[in-house]
Amino acid sequence: MWGGVVFRPRAHEATTSPPSRLRAKPSRFFPNRSRRSAAMDAKIGSLVGAMGAFFSGGDNVPWCGRDIIAGCEREVAEAATEEHKNVSIMRLSWALVHSRNKDDVNRGIAMLQASLGGSKSPLEAREKLYLLAVGHYRNGDYPRSRQLLEHCLEIQPGWGQALSLKKTVEDKIAKDGVIGIGIATTAVGLLVGIAAAVARKN
């Protein structure tokens, strides 16, 4: 999603990949990248390799493990330049909103919201909005996620990645609505039954 680092999810790039700037060649910014960073990239690649069903509407937004988050945190702490630090923060934001831990997701959302106003291009803003949408989707706030995805599509109409997640989000909203109606109908039926029973006793 945003320019220049190693964060290449390989088979996953067509779906819900990390910032496109993070898919540049490693040598561009980090000619002496450590084996540890390369190993973390391999883990990220394996995370996103199972994304083929995403465009068919399946919920396959990848999960991110604590080891990858810890690796991204180290990259931020060890960043030698401001540019390296900014890109490392985006890698960390991506990892956090894909975490299974709600505190991690909320932390990622806060980081993205804090940096959104400083976006240097529409593309950068689009990527941050998309990651925010992923975070709110993870938290179960589907209306907010859909709203953010609509903003993404205002910037780039027809963006397949946002359209795919939007469909998944809307399916969740529709499902929750049907369940809510079913619960409400059941509750009304119970109240009517109780009222009828009380009336018969009287």
Q: Among residues 5, 61, 85, 65, which one has the least CA distance to residue 38?
A: 5
Is 185 contained in some domain? Answer: no
Position 66 in a domain: yes
pLDDT at 202 over 90: no
Q: pLDDT-derived band of residue 121, with 50, 70 and 90 as boundaries?
A: very high
CATH no. for residue 171?
1.25.40.10
Residue 26 lies in a domain: no
The confidence score (pLDDT) of residue 89 equals 93
Predicted pLDDT of residue 62: 85
| 160 lies in some domain | yes
Q: Is the pLDDT of residue 26 over 50?
A: no
> Is 131's pLDDT higher than 80?
yes
Q: Is residue 84 part of a domain?
A: yes
In angstroms, the Cα distances linking 74 to 46, 80, 92, 164 are 20, 12, 10, 32
pLDDT tens digits for 59-116?
Answer: 568 889 999 999 999 999 999 998 899 899 999 999 999 999 999 999 999 999 999 9
**Domain count of the fold of the chain:** 1
In a domain, 27, yes or no: no
Greatest alpha-carbon pair distance for the chain in Å reads 86
Report the pLDDT value the prediction gives residue 16, as an integer from 0 to 100.
46
Counting every residue, how long is the chain? 202
Q: Is the per-residue pLDDT at 23 higher than 60?
A: no
Between 138 and 18, residue with greater pLDDT:
138
Structure letter (DSSP) for residue 64:
B
The pLDDT score that the predictor gives to residue 175 is 87
DSSP state of 3: S
Residue-range definition of the domain harbouring residue 113: 62-176
CA pair distance 79, 72, nearest whole angstrom: 10
**Six-digit token pair at 199?**
């009336």
Is residue 189, in this structure, part of any structural domain at all? no
pTM: 0.64
Per-residue pLDDT at 19 exceeds 90: no
Residue 172: the pLDDT is 92
* Model pLDDT for residues 27-71, shown as the tens digit of each residue: 344 444 556 655 656 555 555 443 333 333 345 688 899 999 999
Would the pLDDT of 192 be above 90?
Answer: no
Question: What pLDDT score was predicted for residue 200?
Answer: 62
The angle, 0 to 180 degrees and rounded to 10, between the axes of the packed helices 82-97 and 102-116 is: 140
- Within a domain: residue 194? no
Residue 99's DSSP bridge partners are 64
Query: Is 140's pLDDT higher than 60?
Result: yes
- Span 168-197, mean pLDDT? 64
